[in-house]
Amino acid sequence: MKKTWWKESVVYQIYPRSFCDSNGDGIGDLKGITSKLDYLKELGVDVIWLSPVYQSPNDDNGYDISDYQAIMKEFGTMDDFDEMLEEAHKRGLKIMMDLVVNHSSDEHKWFQESRKGGEDNPYKDYYIWRETPVNKWESYFEGSVWEYDEMRKMYYLHLFSKKQPDLNWDNPAVRQEVYKMMTWWLEKGIDGFRMDVINLISKKEGLPDGKPMEGRNYTENNEAVVCGPHFHEYLQEMNREVLSKYDIMTVGECICIDEEQGKLITEEDRHELNMVFQFEHVDVGSINGFKWTTQPYSLVELKSILNKWQIGLNEKGWNSLYMDNHDQPRMVSRFGNDGMWREESAKMLATCLHLMKGTPYIFQGEELGMTNVKMDSLSEYRDIESLNAYKTCTEELGYTHEYMMECLNQKSRDNARTPMQWDTTENGGFTTGTPWIKVNPNYTTINAKQQVQDEASVFHYYKELINLRHHSELIVYGDFEMLYPEDEKLFVYRRYLGDEQMLVICNYSQDQIDFQVPECFEGKQGEWLIGNYAPAAYSEQMTLKPYEARVYCFK
């Protein structure tokens, strides 16, 4: 397996709107990010992934871009960006940009021109236009994907909100525009791209209806849009024309893919992308991919999904490791225990994730064990997906208000988007103004300032995990084997490389559990590596405490 810096790195995701506000308008910004680079350096991460900072009317918080080569006014200026990039590089931190090119904003110049129609209009086919809706596809944000445009007197396709029209990737001019724009950013010196829903760019010819899903046709269009007929061809073209010319890192967000597709995208000799964000493990507990339910997840299922990906991509591909991002509820609330065992379970989950094979991603605040937020009413939610889902679920699917609020409380994307908790001053130190979204009131006990000072904090635990990775070939390149796959409370695995081995034991429950090491470790001498309780000498029988994680090394 080829060794590269992006396999040895840890990535930190910043959601700029909620990170740090430098001028008191209640919205995080670039100068705010620059002022916190030392904090990230202290944590020890290598790469920062910035959620979109481009000009945008913010229908979907920057994932609707109206100018790919300008900075969103609320976030600052291009000079602020350049300064941030320079300051990051000075500290040895790399910057990976979000690339949102499945769709643009309807306020993008390309769309404004495209709306005009006309035979000689070069922008005419930049988007997907039809005389009438040609299928029954539904948008991922609810409602039909077809929107009538008064000016062109035609319908355009939008897989997300109606202010996010899909670009027509089958038009070579569109692809060239995108490559030109990517090159412009790379020439500026950025270090990579995270590609938003990149596996939706190629749609099946004729845009046919698929088989309706059971219950409702929520994802009926998936088979026609997910990894469509030209998907790999377009990625390879992009790689040839742009990516291969730079030493960068790429990760494609790919919805509804399995590990077979994951392999095709990430295998080195196919020259597409370095890694993908797959969704199977974070969709655990959903019903047919429909997330608005409070149904509990099964640990056995979670393990079998992660195992499948670890094995599938082991030879020539590469995994990303994440549970948190700006679209997911907080992992400590979801897979851990955000009450009595918050610190223990946050550290346990981090151990479990960071010691698998792949590149780990930390979402802002995860390193503090930040939790989901309790919103008091629907009006406190800001996220377009949550608000639209409330409408559909209560109006069409018969959910009660109370049940839907519980679903939102558990799953809304806004759980991730409450402001970063810096200290105990008003608004958690995020802003001196009125924050654009509610601050989680638990900032008085969960905040960066306290944790940086406290050696026993979740922050310091992350620091240690990152540091371990930086000094261990076994952690980066070792093979993975899942142990006790059927156990309903323990997540146990081993890593091995040459003569070295590592045993990772994670208790996903609040029960005390008696554990017997598997046969392959019997008679061996283990050495303590890391854990979330006091170090314990190795023995073949152990009793695990609630949410305990222990890691032993064997040479």
Q: Which residues bind ligand TEU (CB under 6 A)?
A: 60, 63, 100, 140, 160, 196-197, 253, 255, 291, 326-327, 385, 413
Q: Per CB under 5 A, does 344 bind Ca ion?
A: no
Residues contacting Ca ion: total by CB under 5 A? 5
Q: How far is the CB of 55 from ligand TEU (least distance, A)?
A: 15
Cross-strand bridge partners of residue 490: 507
Q: How far is the CB of 87 from Ca ion (least distance, A)?
A: 18
For ligand TEU, which is the closer residue by CB, 197 or 225? 197
Tokens of 401: 């208000």
For ligand TEU, which is the closer residue by CB, 167 or 448? 167
Candidates 18, 19, 29, 210; binder of Ca ion (CB under 5 A) is 29
Q: How far is the CB of 100 from ligand TEU (least distance, A)?
A: 6
For residue 189, count CB atoms less than 10 angstroms from its CB and return exposed for 0-12, middle for 13-18, buried for 19 or more: middle
Q: Per CB under 5 A, does 60 bind Ca ion?
A: no
138: partner contacted, choices ligand TEU, Ca ion, none (Cβ within 5-8 A by kind): none
Q: What is the dihedral of CA 534, 555, 481, 301, to 10 degrees?
A: 0
Q: Which amino acid is at 109?
A: K
Binding span for Ca ion by CB under 5 A among 19-27, 84-92, 172-180, 242-250: 19-27
Check residue 92 and give left, alpha or beta (phi > 0: left; psi -120 to 50: alpha). Answer: left
Q: How far is the CB of 200 from ligand TEU (least distance, A)?
A: 8
Q: Is 196 a catalytic residue?
A: yes
Contact between 97 and 193 under an 8 Å Cβ cutoff? The reply is yes
Q: How far is the CB of 50 from Ca ion (least distance, A)?
A: 15
Cross-strand bridge partners of residue 67: 55
Q: How does strand 359-363 pair with strand 320-321? A: parallel
First to last CA, the chain: 22
Catalytic residue among 64, 74, 166, 196: 196
Q: How far is the CB of 72 from Ca ion (least distance, A)?
A: 11
Tokens of 149: 């445009």
For residues 421 and 442, give the distance between their C-alpha atoms in angstroms, rounded to a whole number: 9
Q: Per CB under 5 A, does 35 bind Ca ion?
A: no
For ligand TEU, which is the closer residue by CB, 329 or 526? 329
Q: Is 119 a catalytic residue?
A: no
Candidates 25, 220, 423, 500; binder of Ca ion (CB under 5 A) is 25
Contacts 24+ apart (CB under 8 A), 116-120: 116/151, 116/152, 117/151, 117/152, 117/153, 117/154
For ligand TEU, which is the closer residue by CB, 46 or 196? 196
* CB contact set of 156 (below 8 Å; sequence gap of 6+): 127, 128, 129, 130, 146, 147, 149, 165, 166
Contact between 537 and 482 under an 8 Å Cβ cutoff? The reply is no
How is 387-417 classified by DSSP, letter by letter? HHHHHHHHHTS---HHHHHHHHHHH-THHHH
Binding span for Ca ion by CB under 5 A among 10-18, 23-31, 107-115, 157-165: 23-31
Tokens of 323: 């549970």
For Ca ion, which is the closer residue by CB, 354 or 382? 382
Q: Per CB under 5 A, does 196 bind Ca ion?
A: no
160: partner contacted, choices ligand TEU, Ca ion, none (Cβ within 5-8 A by kind): ligand TEU
For ligand TEU, which is the closer residue by CB, 40 or 257? 257
**To which H or E segment does residue 68 belong?**
strand 67-71
Q: Per CB under 5 A, does 21 bind Ca ion?
A: yes
Q: How far is the CB of 71 from Ca ion (least distance, A)?
A: 12
Q: Per CB under 5 A, does 64 bind Ca ion?
A: no
> Which residues are near Ca ion by CB under 5 A?
21, 23, 25, 27, 29
Active site residues: 196, 253
